[in-house]
Structure formats: C-alpha cells, structure tokens
Structure 1
Amino acid sequence: MMKDSSRKTARRIASVRWRTSLAIGALWCLSLPVAAAGGAPAGSHIDPSEIDEAVIAFTGAEVGKPGGPRLPSDRRLRLAACAEPLLTEWFGTARSTVQVSCSGPESWRIFIATSPLQGQAARNNVVKRGDALTILIRGRGFSVQQAGEAMESGAAGDWIFVRTSRKAEPLHARIERPGLAVVPAG
C-alpha cells in the first residue's frame, strides 16, 4: 500500500514540475526580444511589395497583366531585408519566370511566375522535348539531314540539344521552324 501512494505522490510532483517548467518557459520566451528567440528583429524582413515592385520594374508590366507577375508575392514571406537593390533576371529561355535575389550575409532568391505575352504561349510550344525532328547539318556548299529527337523544349530561334539516336552524342542545334533544327558546320 505504501508503494502505491509513493508512486502517486511522485507522479503528482513530476506533473507539477513539468507544468511549472512549461509556464516558466512560456513566460521566458514571451519576454525575449524576437532576435534572441531565433528570429530577426522586427522590421528586418523585406516587404513582399518591394519584390513586386522590382519585378514590375524589370518586366514593365503590372501584376496580372500580360508580361507582368501573375500574382502578387505572398504576404507571408519572411525574407531577410536586403541592404542592396534587389537583383532581377529572367530564369530559363521561355521568359516565363523572373528570378529575384538578394546578395549579402543573409542572401536569398525566389522565382516569380509571369503571365504570358499575347502569342507567347504558342511561340513557346514550337518544339517540345521528345519531339521527332529533322536535323539539318548545313555547311558551305552542302547540307545533310537526318531524323532525330529534341532533348529540350524551345521556340523558333532557340538553341537546344538534339540527338540522332539514343546512343548518339547530343548536338547543339538552332530551331528553324517546327520539326526542323539546324546545326551550322564551318
């Protein structure tokens, strides 16, 4: 009988200690400045509207308009403030995504999708990865053609990798029109 009551008492004491330590821990966390709790001090995050402004200035189009960002940046973003101007550049050849980055001690980068320009969606679908192509090797006074396959997607005028067979070395070719890629020789 004595053993059961000792166990119950020990459990009660452990429970009280546990609840007390939780309460003290919660008060301690509430009293700490944000930086000491593991985050950055208030105001050291970039305002997502600054990212929107940088992308709008880069693309020349407003949010939701053709060529501009599809949507405004998520207001829940908590990226470190950038001491220097934000860097913007196109990501990929399709020009459908803008890379926004901040260099510095707490560097970061994000990718913002843009709305396609009028006719851009059709332009981007000229050749898709895996499409059958005629690969034309054109030189001074000669041309040779062979069936092949696109290893990348691209639009007319884009340079992509193509191959003539599964085991063949990839070639860098320029898409001339749908179904035709040219490899200049010489």
Structure 2
Amino acid sequence: MAFAFDVALQPTGHQPVSFVRMTRRTRVDTTFPRPEFSWLGSWRFSPLVLPILLPLCDPPAQASGLTDPAAIDRAVIAFTGSEIGQPGGPRMAADRRLQLAACAAPLTVDWHSPARSAVRVECAGPNSWRIFVAVNAAPGAADKPALPAIKRGDALTIMVRGRGFSVQQSGEAIEGGAVGDWIFVRTARKAEPLRARIERPGLAVIPAN
C-alpha cells in the first residue's frame, strides 16, 4: 500500500519554498541541491559556516623586527631611578604605536640637556634611531647646580659617532662643563679646536649626522 504526503518548508530569509514528496521509496525533489556531508566520512564546509569559523582563527602574528616600547620604558626607569609618573621619572609610558627598528646593541640613555627635563634614548647600528622622553622634575632639582663632568685641561676621549660607526681618540678639554654641555676640545695632536658634547665624565661626542 503506497502512501504519500507533502511537506512545505517555510522560507527563511531569501530561500525559496521547497516541497518534499515522500513515498515508500522516499523521493526528494527540492529547488536547491542537497548539502553533501556525512558524520562518518569526509564532509564539506558550507559557505555559510566559514564566517562563523573565521573569528576563531588565530590573529596574525605581531610584526617582528621592532623594538618593544616597554624596553624603552625600562631603560628610562633604570637611568632616572624613578617609575613612570613619579618625580624624576618619565612623565608617561612610551607610545605603543612606535615603529622603531629592533636594536642589536643595548639602548643608550642620557640627559638631553643640563635642565634634565628630558632624556635621549638612542640605538646605534645600521638601523639607528633616537627619541626623546619627557621627565618629571625631581624635588629640588632646580636648586641643585649641575656638577662639572669635565674640567678645563682634563684629558678625555673624543668620539665621532655616526650611523653605524664610531671612532675615537685621545684629546684635551679646552673648557669645562657638565653632562650635556657643548665644549671645545682638541685632539692630542694639537689640531684645531672642535666642538663636542659631554656625554659622561671623560667622554665628549661629536655627532657625524
């Protein structure tokens, strides 16, 4: 005895109405192809499933070959001896949007000027760069005169520093000054005076760039 019944599938979105006519041998007649998948064998993704799975994929790896701004924070904190936002420390953390090349050598940090209102962070090497970080004034800093790092007549090292290179030789200070001051120096061969910046006691640097 044959039996048959019709089932109307209600439209969802823009899908057309489909009629399925069931008989003893179950014949399926639809207006769109059947999805082909099997829980026991191979199966295929529907295009509607992909947008659901894509957010679950791992995000792209962070670009490599850049200096971590947190490394700049640590270098400035170690140099000043104060935490971010504290008196004597950096006013704020380094901008996380900075795109600075990775530095193969340790970062060098020094005062930008005798006023000590900012520090200079540098990376030496083929991909050299330099930034300045504002620093909060330390209590009583304005009342303390900067101590001379080099005195007139002192023997010192004169360094010429450029992008990816540095050369140095012995010399003499024609005048004295504190760290960050520009002074006149002369090489040991009594050449013409040169203007150099005091980087630390016993070292004056002439930028080549």
TM-score above 0.5, yes or no: no
Between Structure 1 and Structure 2, the one with more helix by share is 1
Whose radius of gyration is greater, 1 or 2? 2
Between Structure 1 and Structure 2, the one with more strand by share is 2
- Taking structure 2 as the reference length, the TM-score comes to 0.38
